[in-house]
């Protein structure tokens, strides 16, 4: 195979910065390869990808050195348009790159700008929509599509340029599990059947690692390792997790089994790999012990009764929803994009005022309470932290709600107790050393942690988080969920909307599953993954550990095995594996 991308000693410094974000990076990617780039947040993954197609240095100015050749073209000597037919880049947010009203116009947009013959463009529209499974959507309005459908249209619009290379930078971050799987399946087809070179920056490692040919590891602006998934994971999994990088849960399990003396013919990185290695070593009748389900008689934190909601256009968003959440619960709300999750939570918070007798907070009807008064009891953390930042530095952001509550103006002297409360809050999330920075200058993980403590500085008993770990590396996500678990240990109630099944399994106790505005499951997380009807209806993808356990122990009935700890929870079971 011949190289289609060649970087040699590439160093890049953003405009107005002094430290390089890329440091002497050298890399070759061969024609037809499927490559995954991993590394902690801020290590330079996205910046590296933007050098491939000339965004750096043509759009993002700064100082760049070294050599960059793509499809036998010197990137540093070309304009951005000169690379558009060689490489296509798909971003995390599909709305950020879609610019037309109708699907066919979006796919036609780029080749029209290159003055491609109209007859040729018509053929490309049909071909590209067929490749991404969107045939028949030509006349649909882009803004009416789901998140996954928008991302497929984004990929189709890139493919319409007929690039050999396709780069996706966290393109599934905002997608639900089924939409994510659809995108990864599409990439496999584009790679295997159409010969595209695929380069992916991605945090959803469990779903893609087994599809790629090579893994490139970055840290602090440098490329520190490159090899097959098996090579990289078996030799460096501890280093990767220490760096804060997501690794496949199956590989984490394999390392723990190796530590217990187990050997593998082929180091497993997927459920299929692990099943082949473990079948025959684990007796199918081996008992899986149910968890100790001790029902605690806690008072109700929130209760929803017969809740319906219609959008102004007449669409019913919520249909007869009923449930209660106990004080001190850690509850996750699951469902596909558009299932009603956020609409439901807006009723709990009072952003949408519920009708009389529908939502109860600590036993009291909330229909007369305004949004400001609800913030005394409930902290709401938005999906995008930037949407709630209002102050010019981290410390002021952390204490903003306290200042509002006590009527303190910006030029008033701060009372000592508020200063101390702000310092303690920032210490809790390791942000005290960043107190003088503007919130927008923080990393993604730091912004998220700041948004959490700023929302909870009033000491509310309930916290609601909307997609708190989107696009975050393993270290940032873990710190945030540990903070939530600490809040739960203090007796607070945590409610989390998420698409990340792996986090659900590790941290949440119970689940509410929404589907087309209806609540179709209310119960224990472990029992959820034994309910095939709910999983199918809500397009939920089972966690790898659960799939493996069911494969090895078909007699499982009541509770799924959903974490590595569950898998290894009894000494007897470990002995049977060994």
Say what the pLDDT of residue 291 is. Answer: 52
Max CA pair span of the chain: 72
**221 pLDDT above the threshold of 90:** yes
Task: Report residue 455 CA to chain centroid gap.
Answer: 21
Q: Percent of the chain, pLDDT > 70? A: 95
Using CA atoms, how far residue 539 sits from 231, 256, 261, 497, in Å, is 33, 30, 38, 15
pLDDT in tens, 518-571: 999 999 999 999 999 999 999 898 999 999 988 888 777 778 889 998 888 743
The CA-based angle 211-217-218, given to 5 degrees, is 140
Say what the pLDDT of residue 296 is. Answer: 56
The b/e string for 511-530 (b: 16+ C-beta within 10 A; e otherwise) is bbbbbebbbbbbebbbbbbb
Q: Pull the structure tokens for residue 100.
A: 């037309």
In angstroms, rounded to a whole number, what is the distance separating the alpha carbons of residues 358 and 368?
Answer: 12
Which residues have CB under 8 Å from 342's CB, separation 6+?
A: 466, 497
> 522-529, long-range: CB within 8 Å, 24+ apart, which pairs?
522/323, 524/293, 524/559, 525/332, 525/562, 526/291, 526/559, 526/560, 526/562, 526/566, 527/558, 527/559, 527/560, 528/560, 529/505, 529/560, 529/562
Cβ–Cβ under 8 Å, residues 522 and 512 = yes
**Average pLDDT over all residues of the chain:** 88
More confident residue, 156 or 57: 156
SS3 readout for 295-340: CCCCCEEEEEEEEEEECCCCCEEEEEEEEEEECCCEEEEECCCCCC
In angstroms, rounded to a whole number, what is the distance separating the alpha carbons of residues 240 and 245?
Answer: 5
Q: Cis ω on the peptide bond leading into residue 57 (within 30° of 0)?
A: yes
pLDDT in tens, 21-40: 999 999 999 999 999 999 98
Query: Binning pLDDT at 50, 70 and 90, where does residue 578 land?
Result: very low
pLDDT in tens, 500-524: 888 889 999 999 999 999 999 999 9
**285 pLDDT above the threshold of 80:** no
Cβ–Cβ under 8 Å, residues 133 and 166 = no
In angstroms, rounded to a whole number, what is the distance separating the alpha carbons of residues 383 and 469?
Answer: 9
Least confidently predicted of 190-194, 332-336, 452-456: 452-456
The b/e string for 353-375 (b: 16+ C-beta within 10 A; e otherwise) is bbeeebbbbeeebbeebeeeebb
Residues in the chain: 578
Which residues have CB under 8 Å from 40's CB, separation 6+?
A: 219, 243, 244, 245, 473, 475
Query: Binning pLDDT at 50, 70 and 90, where does residue 230 land?
Result: very high
> Sign of the C-alpha dihedral, residues 183, 185, 186, 187?
positive
Q: Percent of the chain, pLDDT > 90? A: 53
The CA-based angle 418-423-429, given to 5 degrees, is 130
Say what the pLDDT of residue 547 is. Answer: 92
Q: What is the C-alpha radius of gyration for the chain, rounded to an integer number of angstroms? A: 25
Least confidently predicted of 243-257, 380-394, 456-470, 556-570: 556-570
533: alpha, beta or left, given left = phi > 0 and alpha = psi -120 to 50?
Answer: alpha
Judging by DSSP bridges, how do beta strands 165-169 and 87-90 pair with one another? parallel
Edge-to-edge strands, sheet with 364-365? 316-326, 300-310, 359-361, 364-365
In angstroms, rounded to a whole number, what is the distance separating the alpha carbons of residues 511 and 559?
Answer: 14
**84 pLDDT above the threshold of 80:** no
Edge-to-edge strands, sheet with 493-497? 378-381, 462-466, 493-497, 330-334, 510-515, 518-524
SS3 readout for 452-519: HHHHHCCCCCEEEEECCCCCCCHHHHHHHHHHHHHHHHCCCEEEEECCCHHHHHHHCCEEEEEECCEE
**81 pLDDT above the threshold of 80:** no
339: alpha, beta or left, given left = phi > 0 and alpha = psi -120 to 50?
Answer: alpha
**284 pLDDT above the threshold of 70:** no
In angstroms, rounded to a whole number, what is the distance separating the alpha carbons of residues 257 and 236?
Answer: 16
Say what the pLDDT of residue 258 is. Answer: 87
In angstroms, rounded to a whole number, what is the distance separating the alpha carbons of residues 488 and 555?
Answer: 34
Cβ–Cβ under 8 Å, residues 209 and 229 = yes
CA dihedral 271, 254, 528, 384 (to 10 degrees): -90
**133 pLDDT above the threshold of 70:** yes
Residue with tokens 């710190």: 479
């Amino acid at each position: 195979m011949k190289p289609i991308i060649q970087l040699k000693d590439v160093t890049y410094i953003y405009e107005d910065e002094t430290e390089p974000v890329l440091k002497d990076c050298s890399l070759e990617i061969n024609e037809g390869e499927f490559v995954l780039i991993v590394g902690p947040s801020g290590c330079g993954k996205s910046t590296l990808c933007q050098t491939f197609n000339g965004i750096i240095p043509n759009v993002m100015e700064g100082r760049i050195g070294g050599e960059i050749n793509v499809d036998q073209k010197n990137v540093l000597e070309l304009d951005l348009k000169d690379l558009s037919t060689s490489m296509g880049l798909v971003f995390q947010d599909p709305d950020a790159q879609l610019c037309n009203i109708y699907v066919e116009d979006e796919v036609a947009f780029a080749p029209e700008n290159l003055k491609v013959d109209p007859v040729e463009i018509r053929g490309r529209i049909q071909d590209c929509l067929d490749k991404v499974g969107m045939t028949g959507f030509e006349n649909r309005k882009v803004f009416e599509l789901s998140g996954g459908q928008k991302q497929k249209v984004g990929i189709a619009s890139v493919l319409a340029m007929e690039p050999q290379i396709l780069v996706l930078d966290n393109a599934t971050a905002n997608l639900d599990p089924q939409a994510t799987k659809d995108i990864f399946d599409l990439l496999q087809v584009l790679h295997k059947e159409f010969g595209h070179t695929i380069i992916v920056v991605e945090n959803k490692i469990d779903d893609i690692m087994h599809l790629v040919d090579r893994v490139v590891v970055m840290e602090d602006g440098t490329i520190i390792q490159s090899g097959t998934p098996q090579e990289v994971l078996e030799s460096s999994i501890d280093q990767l997790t220490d760096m804060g990088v997501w690794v496949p849960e199956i590989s984490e399990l394999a390392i723990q089994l190796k530590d217990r003396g187990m050997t593998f013919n082929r180091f497993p990185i997927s459920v299929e790999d692990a099943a082949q290695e473990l079948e025959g070593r684990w007796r199918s009748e081996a008992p899986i012990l149910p968890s100790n389900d001790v029902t605690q008689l806690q008072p109700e934190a929130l209760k929803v009764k017969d809740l319906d909601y219609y959008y102004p256009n007449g669409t019913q968003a919520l249909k007869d929803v009923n449930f209660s959440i106990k004080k001190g619960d850690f509850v996750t709300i699951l469902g596909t994009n558009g299932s009603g999750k956020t609409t439901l939570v807006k009723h709990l918070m009072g952003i949408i005022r519920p009708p009389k007798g529908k939502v109860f907070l600590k036993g009291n009807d909330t229909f007369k309470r305004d949004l400001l008064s609800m913030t005394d009891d409930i902290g709401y953390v938005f999906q995008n932290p930037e949407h709630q930042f209002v102050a010019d530095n981290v410390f002021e952001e952390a204490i903003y709600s306290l200042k509002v509550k006590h009527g303190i103006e910006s030029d008033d002297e701060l009372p000592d107790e508020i200063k101390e409360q702000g310092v303690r809050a920032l210490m809790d999330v390791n942000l005290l050393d960043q107190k003088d920075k503007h919130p927008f200058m923080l990393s993604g993980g730091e912004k998220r942690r700041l948004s959490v403590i700023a929302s909870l500085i009033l000491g509310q008993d309930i916290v609601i988080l909307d997609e708190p770990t989107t696009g975050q590396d393993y270290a940032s996500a873990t710190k945030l969920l540990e903070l939530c678990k600490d809040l739960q240990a203090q007796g607070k109630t945590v409610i989390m909307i998420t698409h990340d099944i792996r986090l659900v399994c590790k941290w949440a106790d119970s689940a509410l599953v929404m589907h087309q505005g209806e609540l179709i499951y209310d119960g224990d997380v472990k029992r959820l993954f034994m309910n095939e009807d709910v999983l199918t209806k809500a397009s939920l993808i089972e966690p790898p550990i659960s799939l493996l356990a069911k494969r090895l122990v078909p007699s499982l009935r009541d509770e799924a095995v959903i974490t590595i700890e569950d898998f290894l929870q009894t000494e007897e079971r470990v002995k049977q594996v060994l």
